[in-house]
Amino acid sequence: MADYETFELGNLVLQSGATLRNAKLAYKTHGTLSRSKDNVIVYPTFFGGQHTHNEGLIGEGRALDPRRYFIIVPDMLGNGLSSSPSNTPPPYDRARFPGVSLYDNVMCQHRLVTEQFGVERIALVCGFSMGAQQSFHWGALFPDMVERIAPWCGSARTSPHNFVFLEGVKAALCADDAWNGGWYDRQPGKGLRAMARVYAGWAPSQAFYRERVFLNMGFSSLEDYLITGWEGRYLQLDANDILAMVYTWQHGDISDNPLYEGDFLKALGSIKAKSLVMPSRTDQYFPPEDNEIEVGHMPNAELRVIPTIWGHIGGGPGRNPEDTRFIDDALKELLAS
Amino acid sequence: MADYETFELGNLVLQSGATLRNAKLAYKTHGTLSRSKDNVIVYPTFFGGQHTHNEGLIGEGRALDPRRYFIIVPDMLGNGLSSSPSNTPPPYDRARFPGVSLYDNVMCQHRLVTEQFGVERIALVCGFSMGAQQSFHWGALFPDMVERIAPWCGSARTSPHNFVFLEGVKAALCADDAWNGGWYDRQPGKGLRAMARVYAGWAPSQAFYRERVFLNMGFSSLEDYLITGWEGRYLQLDANDILAMVYTWQHGDISDNPLYEGDFLKALGSIKAKSLVMPSRTDQYFPPEDNEIEVGHMPNAELRVIPTIWGHIGGGPGRNPEDTRFIDDALKELLAS
């Protein structure tokens, strides 16, 4: 039995002009919506993740405490649970799955929150990585609805360097002939393994490898970490789903929508929510500098750097106890304010 | 006509146990060897480079001034001019080309310098990237022969993170079925292009892309930079040659030889040469921290960080005028001391 719900989006018209008919948004909730509907937290998922991967920060005694808050975890389109290349029927299936933006995602989530739950105010939108990017989008697209945002290890707009890093990930996956332009019968294993190795260089930091942190994570060697920790992880995903999420990531930009028409500074300046922006000190593709620039244009934002050598993955919910505690403490402080 | 010479190495027994018969070391010299043979500079090449790519730092008025110094630029094994998969006759050709270490390279260069030129003292060994790694090796392997070393954008030992970055490069190249385990008839273009895109994320820095420096380098867009600047570059190289150089790089370690038997700190401590170690501040795979640790164990070394946003490529000879000037000034100072 599925541990999640599905919200029927009907005919979903995307920014790209495509219509996904009978589109679906998977989500999971934790806790109970209060009578006054004032205890809502939206906590979107990250690249390659599903709602379960967010749960390392949810629990009794945590900031995201289901005894107090009603926590909605919407699954990102393309992640294999919400509408994705791998689960969409023809004709928009597989290689024909259209490009989906973070704007599209957040507009769907807004419908879920308002139509399904009748919610008008959100206490907090928070998330890791692409979840952080969705948090920024919520803040910019619904400034009068969102009281707080806490994006960590993610940016309001995907930087050119981040875009190029993802070009490498894509190219490695698609270099495998078995990928066949997305019309594979079996998963392109060689390509998935190649992209996993590319990714492995980016997600942790130089210092993470220098200090061989992976040896304390249940891996017996560097090669075991690459095979089990990285190849094993991406072999579980569908190649077209991965590429759909990469598209979404590469096109991340809070101002690329009718509201802001590309005026990035205006979009940043419109985020009224009290914002706590937390980059990892050693993140190689969402470096603190990008957030520093963004926070400088946000009226109500604080930059708080996570002091970790785990690189990007330090922000993974529950991944590293120390970093998870840092984030949890920060979320508590933000929610109390 | 070739613009370089070839030194016949005869039967070259490698660290791996393989023998490359009739092995060749290509090299180019600039200037004239003085009667007392006291004006020698050795300036090895970098990954994917040949002797011509080193010339951006050689010239009248430069530190590496051929009017004053006799500058020997040895081509690294695997670079397509010295013995390489692409130019070695069977049976050690193509996919059978053996793993070559930086120790192997420097021992060959030592033979060139002593047997061909009768040189007993070297004023300076310097180089960029893998050329820096060879400089460190010279310092550790011939401490009584080398007076100065100036490695920039390279380390004495390839770090685990650097190793993983190269795993991604390799995996992207080899994901192309056309690679065929190294037994291709035509170059695996898709794989070469994929590795080029992976590499493009690593070699410049986040800030280089943020500030769109490539637009001032003759490229018309980010995509043009990726296609012309990166794909175009690697399409000119032979896939097996690339993999041979990656092997050499991944196994870089000044202590992995009979002299030091893996005792890295002992090897660092044995470098008597006056050493000026120059990382790029924004280098993603040879970060300043690695050099800082190394310099801390070298008896006669200074760390001097190149203040650039160009990342690793800032150190490319002649690549960025400002960084080239910084390096040239530092070499002048070192040679004068």
| B14-73: pLDDT as tens digits | 999 999 999 999 999 999 999 999 999 999 999 999 999 999 999 999 999 999 999 999
CATH number at residue B200: 1.10.1740
What pLDDT shows up at residue B106?
Answer: 98
CATH number at residue A76: 3.40.50.1820
Examine the domain organization and report whether A278 and A140 are in the same domain: yes
Examine the domain organization and report whether A155 and A266 are in the same domain: yes
Shortest Cα distance from A203 to chain B (angstroms)? Answer: 11
Minimal Cβ distance to A210: which of B161, B190, B199 = B161
Measuring CA to CA, which residue among B250, B294, B21 is closest to residue B140?
B294
Examine the domain organization and report whether A153 and A74 are in the same domain: yes
State yes or no: pLDDT of A153 exceeds 80: yes
Please state, in angstroms and as integers, the Cα–Cα distance from residue B1 to each residue in A64, B5, B84, following that order: 72, 11, 20
Examine the domain organization and report whether A150 and A176 are in the same domain: no
At residue B315, what are phi and psi to the nearest 5 degrees?
-80, -10
| 8 A C-beta contact, residue B40 and residue B62 | no
Choosing from A51, A135, A312, A328, the catalytic residue is A312
**First-to-last C-alpha distance (Å) of chain A:** 39
The stretch B147-162 carries a mean pLDDT of: 98
pTM given for the model: 0.96
Q: Which of A222, A246, A270 is the last residue of a domain?
A: A246
Examine the domain organization and report whether A181 and A138 are in the same domain: no
Q: Which of B246, B279, B310 is the last residue of a domain?
A: B246
Measuring CA to CA, which residue among A157, A249, A240, A248 is closest to residue A202?
A249
Confidence grade of residue B324 (pLDDT, cut at 50, 70, 90): very high
- Sequence-distant (6+) residues with CB within 8 A of B283 are B153, B205, B311, B312, B314, B315
What pLDDT shows up at residue A1?
Answer: 67
Measuring CA to CA, which residue among A103, A56, A58, A54 is closest to residue A81?
A54
Query: Cβ of A171 and B194 within 8 Å?
Result: yes
Examine the domain organization and report whether A83 and A170 are in the same domain: no
Minimal Cβ distance to A172: which of B168, B204, B209 = B168
Segment B252-269, tens digit of pLDDT: 999 999 999 999 999 999
Q: Is A287 on the interface with B (CB under 8 A)?
A: yes
What pLDDT shows up at residue A235?
Answer: 97
Examine the domain organization and report whether B133 and B271 are in the same domain: yes
A317 by DSSP, 3-state: which?
coil
Please state, in angstroms and as integers, the Cα–Cα distance from residue B238 to each residue in A172, B169, B192, following that order: 18, 14, 9
Examine the domain organization and report whether A32 and A94 are in the same domain: yes
From chain B, the residues in CB contact with A190 under 8 A are: 175
The stretch A72-85 carries a mean pLDDT of: 98
Q: Is A325 on the interface with B (CB under 8 A)?
A: no
Q: Which residue range forms the structural domain that includes residue B167? A: 162-246
Examine the domain organization and report whether B264 and B313 are in the same domain: yes
Query: Is residue A283 annotated as a catalytic residue, yes or no?
Result: yes
From chain B, the residues in CB contact with A287 under 8 A are: 206
| 8 A C-beta contact, residue B168 and residue B199 | no
- Sequence-distant (6+) residues with CB within 8 A of B24 are B6, B7, B8, B9, B82, B83
Report the Cα A25 to chain-centroid distance in Å: 15
From chain A, the residues in CB contact with B170 under 8 A are: 197
ipTM (interface pTM)? 0.94
Which residue in A has a C-alpha nearest to residue B168's C-alpha? A198
Name the pairing type of β-strands A124-128 and A40-42: parallel
Which residue in B has a C-alpha nearest to residue A163's C-alpha? B201
Examine the domain organization and report whether B216 and B71 are in the same domain: no
| Dihedral (Cα; A147, A151, A155, A156), 10-degree rounding | -10
Query: Cβ of A174 and B194 within 8 Å?
Result: yes
Q: Which of A207, A222, A246 is the last residue of a domain?
A: A246
| Number of compact structural domains in chain B | 2
Segment B195-215, tens digit of pLDDT: 999 999 999 999 999 999 999
Catalytic residue positions of B, numbered: 129, 283, 312
Examine the domain organization and report whether B282 and B309 are in the same domain: yes
User: What H or E segment, with its residue span, contains residue B148?
Assistant: strand B148-152
State yes or no: pLDDT of B1 exceeds 90: no
Confidence grade of residue A2 (pLDDT, cut at 50, 70, 90): confident
Q: Work out how many CB contacts closer than 8 A connect A with B.
A: 130
DSSP B177: G
Examine the domain organization and report whether A94 and A202 are in the same domain: no
Query: Mutation test of the interface with chain A: which of B163, B177, B195, B198, choosing the one with the most A Cβ atoms within 10 A?
Result: B198
The Cα B55–Cα B57 span in angstroms is 5
